[in-house]
Structure 1
């Protein structure tokens, strides 16, 4: 989905503001992008941490005589209603609504972590190494960055990424779709034009000729 907001800043205007070192615009933009475009697990956990947690859940279910149902086989649980009295972070007294919300967010992070471990991690094999160079066609492992940096010459944002063997994603989309997703932030006019060209080419692709279609059906059946 490609979104363009009416009356929004142009890519050049955004670039100029990003290059203002220490500006509020730069800080808030980075904060927003890091919240919707992630490349690591929640709570600073590693691939091994999540693997151990999943193994523990499966072990507990097995000991109880039941089958562990992974989040890929369940539907997303909607969040509880928000507290109308105060914000959760401002709650200084015991508040049932805030506590319920806090528990939901903890479950959200745990569920997203497991979904990522099950669906978004890459393992090289014949499917991606079958080329004359013997390199991964999916470009793994990816570059890891401890924090988001700004190129002082171009204004390009190199977003933080903590996992080399996992593509970038949006945690909300992962939680809702319960499957592999690949979310990329279009940080330049060139990238935007490339995506527009790709999508246009894809949706205008001519239909298969009828004899090719029937031949395919016959081969499958």
Structure 2
């Protein structure tokens, strides 16, 4: 999707609700250093600028394919009828594409028609997945009442029920940095070589459509075009790598390795 991998660095985090969450930094083989990229972008209208923007807009997007947020939410509402024929894509496996037609000039044979239908379904499914998993909704922190705590005990929860952690801090600012800034088109600041990639929706992460289609969950894909950003991500991931406590999935993995020796 992104090019040949030169190296990668990442770890799996176990969140408080026991779900697994991957943090990954991917290095593309042959990619230029961030500073050299910025230097080249300072030349207005260069072929390098056009090629880089074309690549970045192809591998990650900040909008839906078939419409804006309001249109997509109206088109893909949360199903309420249990007898509905609607199939939630987050609960379905991805459908592999049909085989290619070897005739490059053909567009009407059975394989070509199947291929066109698959791509149409791909974009429909990807938009639906983004509606289901990528739209950020602000939540205030919630302190449980005595009734909530009693209900938690009744349900057999052994840990103390602490309520919900919201995304807003005490000043009302979203700690997840939403809404994000909108860019109707990719823009380069020629004074310092910084690049803001096209983004049309403020309340969704940037995603790679093919990755969303395959993984069927929330993702956040960002191109790091500065050394500072790369160092920050390395430090962020290292924080999870160096956590002292052993997580349950690590315990099970160790048990599996021992039992199969």
The reply to whether TM is greater than 0.5 is: yes
Structure 2 spans left out of the alignment, 5+ residues: 1-23, 141-165, 247-261
Q: Which residue of 2 aligns with 1:124?
A: 138
The Cα of 1:205 is off from its aligned counterpart by: 1.9
TM-score (norm. length: structure 2): 0.70
Q: Kindly provide the CA deviation profile for residues 31-77 of structure 1, in whole angstroms up to 9, marking residues without a partner as x.
A: 1111112110003x01221122224x959xx69x5442210110001
- Give deviations 1:105-135, integer Å, cap 9, x for gaps: 1111100000000100011121223x32012
Q: 1:84 aligns with which of 80, 102, 108?
A: 102
Deviation at 1:156, TM superposition (A): 1.0
Gaps spanning 5+ residues in structure 1: where? 209-221
Q: Which residues of 2 match residues 1-221 of structure 1 at below 5 A? A: 1-43=24-66, 45-55=67-77, 66-86=84-104, 91=106, 94-126=108-140, 127-129=166-168, 131-207=169-245
- Asked if the contact 1:58/1:67 (under 8 Å) is kept, the reply is no
After superposition, the CA RMSD in angstroms is 2.2
Other structure's SS at 1:52 match: helix
TM-score when normalising by structure 1: 0.81
2: CA distance between counterparts of 1:67 and 1:97?
27
Distance in 1 between the 2:29 and 2:209 partners? 26
Number of equivalences: 198
> Which structure shows the higher helix fraction?
1
Report the structure, 1 or 2, having the larger strand content: 2
